[in-house]
Chains A and B, each alone.
Chain A
Amino acid sequence: MKKIHIIILVFIAVSIMVLLSFMGDLSTYETLASARQKEGKTVTVITQLDRSVAQPIEYDAVKNPNLTRFHVVDTLGNKAQVMYYFEKPFDMEKSDRIVLKGKMKGDVFEITRKDGILIKCPSKYKDDPKAAYNNISQQ
């Protein structure tokens, strides 16, 4: 057997190990309901702000600049409160989708990493035809 074959075998073994540990760490996309079943496990949930609540987002930088509390609802209509231990992301109010990554703890969804939240705004990174249309209709 040639050296290169040995090395390739080693690389394959390493790759498989890396891949397995990568697979082991994967989290999954869940709904709020299935996240409740997997309490304490890190999951990703695609949600929207629950605008039926009087105050969907609570953030008071004077009292605590490092806590944002908000209410979300997922596509199946399940609701939950979210604790995000960082400043309120800009434009959160106008988001049309919020992707959360964190753990369910009791009834509260907790996010302990700053990048555990991904805000999708209708017009931040893409052209929003609706915004352009509204703008043009107001001219």
Chain B
Amino acid sequence: MNYIGEHLFPGQLGHFLVILSLVASLVATIAYYKSATAKLIPDADSWKRIARIAFITDVASVVMVFGLIFMIIFKHYFEYFYAYNHSDISLEPHYLLSSIWEGQEGSFLLWTLWHGVLGLILVRTAKKWEAPVMTVISFAQLCLATMVLGIYLFDLKIGSTPFMLTRHRFPDAPIFSDPQYLLSLRDGMGLNQLLQNYWMVIHPPILFLGFASTIVPFAYAIAGLWKKDFGGWTKDALPWSLFSGAILGLGVMMGAKWAYESLTFGGYWAWDPVENASLVPWLVLVAGIHTQVIYNSTGHSLRPTYFFFIASFLLILYSTYLTRSGDLQDTSVHAFTGSGMNWQLRIFLLVFLLPSMILYLRRYKQIPFIAKEESSWSREFWMFIGSLVLFLSAGYIIVATSLPVFNKIFHTKFNVGEEPEFSYNRVQIFVAIVIGLLTAIAQFLKYRNTDKQYFVKKVWVPTAIALAVSLAISLFGKVHFDKFGIGFLAAIHLAIFASVYAVVANTSYIWRGLNGKLRAAGASVAHLGFGLMLTGMLISSSKMEVLSMNFINPLNFGPDAKQKGVENMTLYRGIRTDMGKYWVTYVSDSSVHKDKINYFRIDLERKDGKDNFSLYPDIIKNTKGAQGYSNNPDSRHYLHKDIFSYISYVDKMIGGEDTAQFRNHAMAIGDTAFYSTGYLLLDSVTVNPHEGKYSFKPTDTAIMANLSVVTNDQRRLLAKPVFYVEDSRAMFLPDTVFAQGLAVMLAPSESTGKFTVRVKESSKLVPFVALKVLQFPFINLVWLGTVLMVVGFVMSMVRRARLL
């Protein structure tokens, strides 16, 4: 059949370019290998020329493939499944970029694109290391190119192409029997609503640049082992490993910021496997940077440097496998599910794991080392201990994260315990203490040996200040996180001291150690940032407070009431409700984008009148054919805290008819009747009421019940339902108590002296939201610390690059 209106050329060109990049990276790998192993210089040079042309061809094709995909999405060519599945016409242009990396293919392309960019820089700068280093990178490009190949080799699917046509994806869908199907295929499935956040535009490119950059120290390490020039590369590679540390760290923390701003688990870090998978390589990389610095200054620690850099890249590959294979489905909220590429991901890991480990082990004995051990008064000794602690911490995290993989291999059925976050925190808190202390003191030690008096003289002032500050925090900061016992609380206080110590000591080192030479202070700034980050994490987590806590005991002490964790408050529109230090009111709601997003205006006012503001949490209609909504928090930012709120539930989400039934209570005056969250008291009845909205004449037959509604927070509300007779017919005027979702009717009773009070509890009487409000003190320290840490990394990187 000839379909009308399809744009097939971009796809055909794209396919061609993917295959071209595959072939080009293969040629580049072989040519760089030949160049690296050539015995004669002219041979090496001519191979290198071929390799460069091939590598540049590879990068150019990848750039064009990327451009083509963007064009397909930007122009809404829904005949391509990628555009159809990941975008729609209502998306704003910058989210069209996010559409590219929503899919696996796009994120692989992003990764390979960054490899290409870094490779081009290496081609210009790596000099004698170019050939061996680029052999490794070209080989990685070859592997990544197979991931987006999308061809079948004897029934075996290799890769998944982003240029698949929608009609090839669903060949038997009835729509494709019409040659003009594009006229009806006018919109796509859209971008996942949670990814429609500006952090999702920049976080993935930065994170993937971080992923991609870990290959450079790895490639240098492999090159060093391969060419047996064991110590020759460490100075050249230092700016690269610092770059990697900066960008990967930034990428991880940007993801945390995104989670904080658009997810509702209440925080920025949940030890989710997807988060852990990118944190662990970073920790190992940072360990490697420290041993690398040690080697450059003293000649110690070369063997561990090799190990850390190799492991860091392998862990990147392993986490790619973890997050994309679907093995984490039952433990992670946001891992990809399997895409049938597991075998390929495993091979990707193995083709790097086996050769690099074999090479490392075979060369291990030849790697030079210094037999004399470091002095305990030397900087390198404590830096090495720090690296080791970072590595062990990473090891613990990755073991716990990999439980699903172990389960799969050994057919076991383990899972982390009931407190998944605590199972990490209780170990990492001690890591924080040790690392904080080491970060504080290590810079004051000199390489090889330090004069003890010099050390004490330099270090006592910052120590005293840090002690004073952290004692002030501990004594007056109200850090009482005793949920996990006094031991853990003590550890938190110790960690606060250690992290404050790191901040103070590194700040003072800039003057006391470096005499204010800011250009040389990269490490101090990075460590100071790291310390601030730790301080912020400790304080914001241990003092996190649920403001919407309901302390009111529900009246019906049923099985539902025993739980202390009543963290949500139900707010009826327009009714001011008591929330601890605040009055809170659900004022109004509004929707934008054709009802896609609903905003709720929630007013908060401090009871002491010092502050009042509005929050606008929203719920977004799910995209991709899913019904229902997702919620999106809103925060009020202060310098020293955030007030964070989100909608847990809203009446909008209830579908269908009001099915609640009236319940009858026979009541005499003075009797009480319970409803789910309070009780009604029949105070009196008025005959022929003439007040408020009622105006009966003395000749009518009407009675009104005066009911007090006593709520669970001891408020008394009134309900005045009326029963009257007109033309010998019984008429009812029910009354509603919106604040309790109650409808109350009055009817005569058969027994004398009693009335029938009919009560209906319904969620459909009045608009309401269930709201959760959290407070994070000093969360800004986390973000400020991150920024400073990255700045420090970059300062060091620039300085080391200049020194080359």
A residues contacting B by CB (< 8 A) are 2-4, 7-8, 11, 15, 18-19, 22, 25-30, 42, 44, 46, 59-67, 83, 85-88, 90-91, 93-94, 99, 101-103, 112-116, 118, 120-129, 131-137, 139
Contact = CB atoms under 8 A, between A and B. Distances in A.
Contacts of B567: 66, 86, 114
Contacts of A113: 418-419
Contacts of A28: 413-415
Contacts of A42: 417-418
Contact of A136 (B185, B388, B628): B185
Most interface-central of B423, B570, B631 (chain A CB within 10 A): B570
Contacts of A112: 563, 565
B47 interface: no
B639 interface: no
B487 interface: no
Contacts of B373: 2-4
A72 to B, nearest CB: 15
B416 A62 contact: no
Given A4-B373, A27-B418, A125 B763 contact: no
Interface in B559-583: 559-560, 563, 565-570
A21 B310 CA distance: 30
Contact of B189 (A67, A87, A131): A131
A126 B772 CA distance: 28
Nearest to B626: A123
B125 interface: no
B717 interface: no
B628 A125 contact: no
B277 to A, nearest CB: 15
B676 A64 contact: yes
Given A61-B770, A132-B85, A44 B415 contact: yes
A126 B546 CA distance: 32
B84 A118 contact: no
B416 A134 contact: no
Contact of B648 (A87, A125, A126): A87
Contact of A18 (B420, B427, B762): B427
A56 to B, nearest CB: 14
Contacts of A26: 403, 414-417
Contacts of B166: 136
Contacts of B568: 61, 65-66, 86-87
B565 A139 contact: no
B352 interface: no
B495 to A, nearest CB: 17
B550 interface: yes
Nearest to A101: B418
Contact of A91 (B174, B333, B392, B626): B626
Contact of B415 (A2, A27, A91): A27
Contacts of A62: 570, 740-741, 761-763, 768
Nearest to B376: A3
Given A27-B415, A85-B563, A126-B337, A65 B648 contact: yes
Nearest to B336: A126
Closest 4 CB pairs of A and B: A87-B648, A131-B625, A65-B770, A65-B568
Contact of A137 (B175, B413, B629): B175
A22 B770 contact: no
B480 to A, nearest CB: 20
Contact of B170 (A18, A101, A115, A132): A132
Contacts of B392: 11, 15
Nearest to B740: A62
10 contacts: A11-B388, A25-B417, A26-B414, A27-B414, A65-B648, A91-B628, A93-B628, A127-B86, A132-B624, A139-B175
B333 A118 contact: yes
B44 interface: no
Given A90-B629, A115-B270, 11 more contacts: A4-B373, A29-B413, A61-B568, A61-B570, A63-B676, A83-B560, A93-B628, A125-B334, A127-B85, A137-B175, A139-B181
B625 A115 contact: no
B649 interface: yes
B550 A90 contact: no
A125 B192 contact: yes
A66 B648 CA distance: 10
Interface string B623-637: 011111111000000
A1 to B, nearest CB: 11
Interface string B388-421: 1100100110011001000100000111111111
Nearest to A68: B649
Contacts of A18: 396, 427
B556 to A, nearest CB: 10
Given A42-B418, A66-B568, A90-B629, A61 B649 contact: yes
Interface in B620-662: 622, 624-631, 648-649, 651
Contacts of B611: none
Contacts of A114: 265-266, 565, 567
B330 interface: yes
B297 interface: no
A59 B399 CA distance: 38
A123 to B, nearest CB: 4
B749 interface: no
B402 to A, nearest CB: 12
B428 to A, nearest CB: 11
Contacts of A61: 568, 570, 648-649, 651, 763, 768, 770
Contact of A88 (B427, B649, B741, B762): B649
